[in-house]
Structure 1
């Protein structure tokens, strides 16, 4: 159910020999403009003051994430600081990485962040598609890559973002949820069920809200550590050796 990993695996899909590398005028305009507050959060994601969480939710500090049958969670850790920076949720062939950030009180930041990501993808020779979907305005990026058998392909990621009260929640889909968005309804529901805990500390916009390892996971890790130590202590020591003397 749980795991720790330093770097997320990337999905590579095969592509035709002549892949489209430029975006349309409409896509450029959509990437640069978003009407503030156009996404209705009446069905989530939620602020901690808007909904009561129950025992099915796991506490990650700045986020509460609801567990459902078959859902696996991986804690993404930054290698240098060893700090938890994201949670990746996986079910079947669908993956969703989620992070929560601080945001200004009066304006959202998703339109600016989306435009910056799109610009970065284009500079790397990739393409972007901006569209309106179930979670508001989203972006699908494709970066040139090679498949395992050496064919030309592209790495696909689907970015979604929701502006809340002084926070911003970002999700990055991979696997089937990125390649076939229409089949990702279950992952979208998981994203909507997330509860963000902004806290009262002053933070600059885009600052990653602090994440903590849940107590249940810490207890499991400690139990595993103690079991390993006990196994080492229980190993019989090597006794004296007897050599035959002739």
Structure 2
């Protein structure tokens, strides 16, 4: 992982929330929220919350009086999440590193993290921290994307960027979001962190956009891929977005377009 992979600043949070969240995150957020409340919970921690798509889905499902603490390492993303969240039910917001959580041992019944563990510099340490703050019998629930080949819009945008701008080494999507979807490695890392009961489920879905340009804009301007491409100028950015839009239109048609997405949902206790 490069330092650029963790940069969600400037205009990225706005594009992320407007284009990428409805494209790939909302359905998985609703699924993860339902899994969190499938067992009784009173105190819940969310790490790497991003722009708050899980927070918006989960907060209304928690029992009255539950404590819900939402954290992210990146303050601009956390501010974006806070701005979108209703004030009721109450949510605690805290900038925090998932590898160094500022909570006492055995503080929570559940820890959840949607598509964030791929950004951990040391996943075993991150998993160990989740285990440390869980009460006995508590659950750690999180998502990881499958390989980029199983996530078609991301694959198209990456291929176009590499073709038009090979010197940029535009590998962010393949390297980080889609570079850790290995169930055997996930299980081994969780076991190393001390978890013994681990369930890994493959969840396939459909990614839908109102226009072929939306996936191109989402991945180019709403992710750290932007940091790999932006130094080559706005004209090149628009050229990549235009070419990816045409590729998506050629493959999936005019108007509303849909493509495959696939990830893993993991429950460890």
TM tier, smaller: under 0.3
By relative contact order (CA 8 Å, sep 6+), the higher-ranking structure is 1
Decide which structure has the larger Cα Rg and report it. 1
- TM (norm. structure 1) is 0.22
More helix by share: 2
- TM (norm. structure 2) is 0.21
More strand by share: 1
